[in-house]
Amino acid sequence: MREKIRVLILEDHQAIVDGYCYRLGQSKDFAIVGALTFGEQLMPTLKEQPVDVLLLDVLAPLSKENRTPYPLFSYLKELREQRPDLKILIISMHGERTLIKAALDAGVNGYILKDDQKAIQSLGNIIRSIVDGGSYLSEQVRRILYESAPLPIVLSPRQLQILSACAAYPHLSQAEIGQMLHLQHSTVRNSLSSIYERLEVRSLREAITKARALGIITPNPPRYVTDEVDESDFTP
């Protein structure tokens, strides 16, 4: 008999969490091992709790005090090194092409848009396919990703890692960002210089603003977008 698939949820809207739990609870294949509200809870939980699949909202706030979106790209490398077996399924309202591509390049196993009702209703089957070694892009995501138009500016994985961390922790110095990411201060400084040049900006604030506008890093905090989600799609 197949063991239950252990699912951890990072999502700050309780109605959406309840919807996931309802849909997955209809099958004996799944065990919800936790539902987190803030990104800062993720790494400690994964160190303590066996998890097979992470359902991740890229706009989940970092903490109660810091409503900046969780800097996914800053932690994916560490997450992949510590838990190479973990499957990550992003379920997001944001379908910017560059954001989707960056997430896939960083190693996530699937990407669904929250307003894709067909995909949400098939959540259990999608998770099963990912656990069995597959990947999943919802129909809307595939359409966005494979448009014929050329992709706009794309940063390297290291540049994404550093800029995402700077956006999430604006109070930290470059040296402190480097320490947090286990990088030399000079690496952070030189990477930021390259980012400014590539984005054609002169400051970190301008770089973060432009990167968010382009969809290169996670957009503005949830308070700007909560009204756009129809939470009835996720509830019974």
Average pLDDT over residues 180-208: 92
In a domain, 219, yes or no: no
Residues 136-145 pLDDT 10s: 998 888 888 8
Polymer length in residues for the chain: 236
Say if residue 164 is in the same domain as residue 136: no
Residues 142-176 pLDDT 10s: 888 877 566 566 788 889 889 988 988 888 999 99
184 has a pLDDT exceeding 70: yes
Closest by CA to 11, choosing from 70, 98, 77, 84, is: 70
The whole-number pLDDT of residue 163 equals 92
In a domain, 220, yes or no: no
Residues 33-54 pLDDT 10s: 999 999 899 989 998 999 999 9
Per the structure block, which two tokens stand in for 33? 């091992």
Mean of pLDDT over the chain: 84
In a domain, 81, yes or no: yes
Say if residue 9 is in the same domain as residue 124: yes
In a domain, 129, yes or no: yes
The dihedral region occupied by 137, where left means phi > 0, alpha psi between -120 and 50, and beta the remainder, is beta
**Dihedrals φ, ψ of 105, to 5°?**
-65, -30
In a domain, 115, yes or no: yes
Q: Which domain holds residue 36?
A: 5-149+225-234
Say if residue 126 is in the same domain as residue 187: no
Residues 121-138 pLDDT 10s: 999 999 999 999 999 998
* Three-state SS annotation for 145-205: HCCCCCCCCCCCHHHHHHHHHHHHCCCCCHHHHHHHHCCCHHHHHHHHHHHHHHHCCCCHH
Say if residue 129 is in the same domain as residue 171: no
Say if residue 76 is in the same domain as residue 193: no
Q: What is the CATH number of the domain that holds 115?
A: 3.40.50.2300
- Is the pTM above the cut of 0.75? no
Say if residue 10 is in the same domain as residue 117: yes
Number of domains in the chain: 2
CA distance 30 to 6: 6
Instruction: Tell me if 61 sits within 8 A of 17, measured CB to CB.
Output: no
